[in-house]
């Protein structure tokens, strides 16, 4: 091969090398460009994933708040802050529609933090929640394209100009720095609730952004629905369904809190007790529907008369209570008298005028124990009833109340609320006597005798007084305090009232009782204590005495089979007094025993039915004291 051939061959090889290098360079450039493109795509995907992750976390956070029974206001504030903080919007707010009858308007009820508030105050010289907005209706926003779910515009200034009242419309348009806003309608229970408004730094939202905001608005609607349900449940839990007033449970919880506050701040508060007069007569004459009308009428008077800080509650039936925070007894009397007059002014269909009996008691003036205060208010209320109804009575301190007054109130409660089954004639007779007891308290014994006679025909007039006198003399032998003696006197009048609930043929049976009948008879102490007397607040501390008045010293009694000193001395006294009078009166299964024979039985049963000491003192009282006066 010649020189020229070698040279041409060498040139060809060089050309091949150059082509190879060029082609490699092109491949490297393509790889580089591909890598750069992939890096951009990865960055965008990472950004999209980051946004999606934030969106999911935000939705999860809102969902957790919704299911923690947080107040709606807290949930909505969290929503607006999430849109601003985690999702990068400039501002956001939630607007609610209102209609007060004369005017329809919107107001901001939640917004995204202090910057929104600062900007709003700088522009409009008011807080966001203080201005009534007049936003266009949903159909006006969407009239151009009714199928869209989110309304987006760059004309923020136009919206603000249209929405603001004239007195704050003079603002600097340059102060609006958002490039666009999105407005999403919100619904609750298929009606317009308001809007979610998002202020954005961008002129246009992406498709994914719009999809997320639409999903987000559904979460807000769900939050509103759940909050409404929680509120409905809360209201049902603390309010009376008929009147809309608070119920007993809420009243008692509030009173406990108010007592703590009163003690801490050295304040007073007054409790008003209101009892609608003659509700039974209204129900019997016109029907229960009209009784309900009367109850609702009283509740309306209370709603219209109370301050925002006062608590009015329906305690049950025709009874209402009101707490007046920071009010002393003088202020309470003024309020109660106004209530009484406003109730008396009512003219109801068919019924005509209605009246109420009212009691007033003040914390720290009459008692610093809330249960005792309620009891005193109840007593004052019943005093108003005894004195003719349609009046206001101020409570007395517990030390000023006699045992006779407590007994009278108890009989009034038993008879007026029909806690025992009585025929109409007996009920009218006893009610008449009760009304007269304020003039002659000796009549309380007559009421007791008449009541006992309904289940014990052998009971004679004056026996209740003799029993109380005998029990009192015996209590003094054991040096009981005046308070305990008073409790014993009341218990002596009430201990056998459970017999009113037992069948008369069983009480008057001449043959021996079988085991089943005997077991039934033995229930009467519990019937008296738990079914008849337990709801009566003024005798709460007397009920345990009555429950145990058939317990024997050796534990063979009933219903709890306790023994010895575990039995209250008052219960032991009732048992021995009751036994003595039972022995000395006729019974269906035997004739009355003489005094001496009865005392022999009392003595023989010492150590079994009662203690030896009690038997000895009892026999001494019978032999040495005159109980016939």
* 602 contact partners, CB below 8 Å, separation of at least 6: 576, 579, 580, 610, 615, 618, 619
CA 107 vs. chain centroid, Å, equals: 31
559 upstream amide cis, omega within 30 of 0 = yes
Token couple for 498: 């459970």
Q: How many CA atoms lie within 13 A of 331 on its CB side?
A: 14
Reduce the DSSP state of residue 111 to 3 states and report it: strand
State the Cα–Cα distance between residues 252 and 323, nearest whole angstrom.
10
Tell me which DSSP letter residue 530 carries. I
Annotated active-site residue in 258, 318, 570, 617: 318
Q: How far is CA 508 from CA 311, 313, 452, 497, 591, in A?
A: 51, 45, 14, 16, 13
**What b/e sequence results for 301-325 when a residue is b if at least 16 CB atoms lie within 10 Å of its CB, and e otherwise?**
bbeeebeeebbbbbbeebbbbbbbb
Q: Helices 207-238 and 72-85 sit at what angle, rounded to 10 degrees?
A: 160
Nearest to 89 by CA among 122, 115, 63: 115
Exposed/middle/buried for residue 346 (C-beta within 10 Å: 0-12, 13-18, 19+): middle
Tell me which DSSP letter residue 136 carries. P
State the Cα–Cα distance between residues 415 and 424, nearest whole angstrom.
11
Token couple for 201: 């730094």
State the Cα–Cα distance between residues 387 and 45, nearest whole angstrom.
86
State the Cα–Cα distance between residues 388 and 383, nearest whole angstrom.
9
| Residue 318 falls in the annotated catalytic set | yes
Reduce the DSSP state of residue 592 to 3 states and report it: coil
Helices (H), 239-352: 248-265, 279-286, 288-305, 329-345
State the Cα–Cα distance between residues 376 and 397, nearest whole angstrom.
7
Size (the chain), residues: 629
* 501 contact partners, CB below 8 Å, separation of at least 6: 420, 421, 524, 527, 531, 532
Q: How many CA atoms lie within 13 A of 7 on its CB side?
A: 3
Which residues carry out catalysis?
A: 318
């Amino acid at each position: 091969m010649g020189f020229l051939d070698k040279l041409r061959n060498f040139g060809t090889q060089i050309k091949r090398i150059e082509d190879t290098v060029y082609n490699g360079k092109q491949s490297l450039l393509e790889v580089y460009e591909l890598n750069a493109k992939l890096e951009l795509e990865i960055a965008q995907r990472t950004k999209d994933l980051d946004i999606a992750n934030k969106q999911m976390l935000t939705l999860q956070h809102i969902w957790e708040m919704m299911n923690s029974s947080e107040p709606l206001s807290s949930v909505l504030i969290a929503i607006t802050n999430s849109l601003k903080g985690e999702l990068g919007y400039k501002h956001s707010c939630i607007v609610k529609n209102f209609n007060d009858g004369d005017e329809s308007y919107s107001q901001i009820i939640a917004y995204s933090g202090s910057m929104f508030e600062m900007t709003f105050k700088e522009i409009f010289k008011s807080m966001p929640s203080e201005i009534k907005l007049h936003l266009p209706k949903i159909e006006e926003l969407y009239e151009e394209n009714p199928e869209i779910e989110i309304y987006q515009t760059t004309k923020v200034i136009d919206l603000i100009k249209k929405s603001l009242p004239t007195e704050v419309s003079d603002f600097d348009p340059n102060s609006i720095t958002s490039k666009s806003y999105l407005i999403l309608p919100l619904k609750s229970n298929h009606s317009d609730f308001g809007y979610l408004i998002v202020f954005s730094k961008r002129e246009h939202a992406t498709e994914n952004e719009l999809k997320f905001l639409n999903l987000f608005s559904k979460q807000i609607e769900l939050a509103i629905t759940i909050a409404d349900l929680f509120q409905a449940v809360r209201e049902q839990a603390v309010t009376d369904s008929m009147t809309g007033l608070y119920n007993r449970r809420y009243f008692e919880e509030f009173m406990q809190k108010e007592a703590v506050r009163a003690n801490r701040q050295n304040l007073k508060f007054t409790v008003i007790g209101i009892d609608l007069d003659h509700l039974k007569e209204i129900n019997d004459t016109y029907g229960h529907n009209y009784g309900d009308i009367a109850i609702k009428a009283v509740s309306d008077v209370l709603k219209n008369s109370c301050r925002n800080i006062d608590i009015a509650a329906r305690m049950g039936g025709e009874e209402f209570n009101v707490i007046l925070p920071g009010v002393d007894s003088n202020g309470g009397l003024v309020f109660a008298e106004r209530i009484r007059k406003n109730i008396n002014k009512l003219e109801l269909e068919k019924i005509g005028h209605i009246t109420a009996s009212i009691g007033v008691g003040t914390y720290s003036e009459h008692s610093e124990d809330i249960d005792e205060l309620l009891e005193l208010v109840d007593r004052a209320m019943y005093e108003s009833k005894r004195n003719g109804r349609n009046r206001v009575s101020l409570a007395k301190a517990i030390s000023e109340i006699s045992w006779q007054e407590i007994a009278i109130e108890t009989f009034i409660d038993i008879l007026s609320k029909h806690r025992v089954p009585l025929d109409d004639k007996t009920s009218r007779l006893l009610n008449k006597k009760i009304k007269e007891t304020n003039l002659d308290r000796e009549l309380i014994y007559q009421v007791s005798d008449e009541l006992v006679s309904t289940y014990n025909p052998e009971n004679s007039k004056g026996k209740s007084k003799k029993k109380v006198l005998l029990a009192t003399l015996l209590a003094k032998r054991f040096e009981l305090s005046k308070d305990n003696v008073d409790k014993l006197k009341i218990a002596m009048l009430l201990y056998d009232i459970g017999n009113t609930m037992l069948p008369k043929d069983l009480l008057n049976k001449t043959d021996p009782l079988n085991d089943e009948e005997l077991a039934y008879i033995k229930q009467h102490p519990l019937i008296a204590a738990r079914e008849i007397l337990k709801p009566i607040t003024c005798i709460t501390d007397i009920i345990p005495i009555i429950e145990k008045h058939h317990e024997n010293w050796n534990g063979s009694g009933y219903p709890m089979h306790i023994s010895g000193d575990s039995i209250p001395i008052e219960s032991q006294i009732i048992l021995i007094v009751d036994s003595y009078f039972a022995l000395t009166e006729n019974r269906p299964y035997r004739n009355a025993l003489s005094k001496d024979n009865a005392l022999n039985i009392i003595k023989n049963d010492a150590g079994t039915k009662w203690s030896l000491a009690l038997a000895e003192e009892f026999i001494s009282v019978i032999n040495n004291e005159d109980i016939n006066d």
